[in-house]
Structures are given as structure tokens and as C-alpha cells.
Amino acid sequence: MATTDLTEQNFAESITDGIVLVDFWAAWCGPCRMFGPIFEKVSENHADITFGKVDTEAQQGLAAAFQITSIPTLMAFRDNILIFSQPGVLQEPQLEELIKNIRALDMDDVRRQVAEQAAAKAATGTDAASEASSN
């Protein structure tokens, strides 16, 4: 499967279902040019996975939204949940291992953990607001 160009217009709908790997890159970036062919080659082995590329120069809003400060940065989403983010070049065996690990995830457990973290964060925010208003 070839890679897909992701933009602000199609990004959200692209990560909703299944596994999506996103390569944040730029044409002037040497390490990005090293990782690009690896990303493309691995995409050929996994037709069921979406391999998307975000050109950080053309899609500065997306790069800012995801706080990209170093490229290439690889992000992995599964069922609209960000489950991996790492800057730097991965070699082919590392990328294949990452995909294997993503496939093995228990997504019910991941969703439970995400809900717990959101509840804890909301509780902390509420407590802080309560304390501030009572002082």
C-alpha cells in the first residue's frame, strides 16, 4: 500500500478506524529522506494499515497541533487513540516490531486506561478550581 498525504482537511477522518502510522517530515530534512523509503517499503507489507505522511512545511497547523519539534516524528494511532510518538529514524526491523506490538494491544484495556487518565485529570482540575475559589 502506498502512503497517503495527510492534511488538516483529511487528518481527523484518517485516524478514526484501525491502525494509522503518521510520518511527520519535511523535504529539507536529511533524516526524513532516510526514513521515507523505509516507511514506504514497510507500507507495502501491511495493506490493512494506513501509512500517512504530514509535510510539516505545508501543514504547519497540524505540526503545531501535535507539538512537533523534531522531524521525522512517527506517531501511531489505533482507533483514534494516539498510542505511540517518537522522533527520529526507525530502521525497518524496528518499525516492523512496532507494528507487531500495536497489533497485539488490548484496545479495551487501552480505552479503560485513557478513560481513567481523563477522569483523574478532570478530578485534579476540579479540585484545583475548588481550592482556588475557596481561598
CATH number of 8's domain: 3.40.30.10
Q: Is the pLDDT of residue 129 over 80?
A: no
- What's the gap between Cα 19 and its chain centre? 10
Q: Which residues are catalytic?
A: 29, 32
- Helix-strand-coil percent breakdown of the chain, rounded to 5? 50, 20, 30
- Specify whether 52 is located in the same domain as 93: yes
Between β-strands 4-5 and 50-55, what pairing exists: parallel, antiparallel or unpaired?
parallel
Residue 119, domain extent: 106-135
- Specify whether 49 is located in the same domain as 114: no
- Which pLDDT score, from 0 to 100, does residue 17 have? 87
- Specify whether 13 is located in the same domain as 40: yes
Q: Which three cell numbers stand for residue 60?
A: 504547519
- Specify whether 77 is located in the same domain as 123: no
| Interval 59-112: pLDDT, tens | 999 999 999 999 999 999 999 999 999 999 999 999 999 999 999 999 999 999
Question: How many structural domains are present in the chain?
Answer: 2
Q: Could you tell me where the beta strands, DSSP code E, fall in 14-55?
A: 19-25, 50-55
- Which pLDDT score, from 0 to 100, does residue 130 have? 47
- Specify whether 70 is located in the same domain as 85: yes
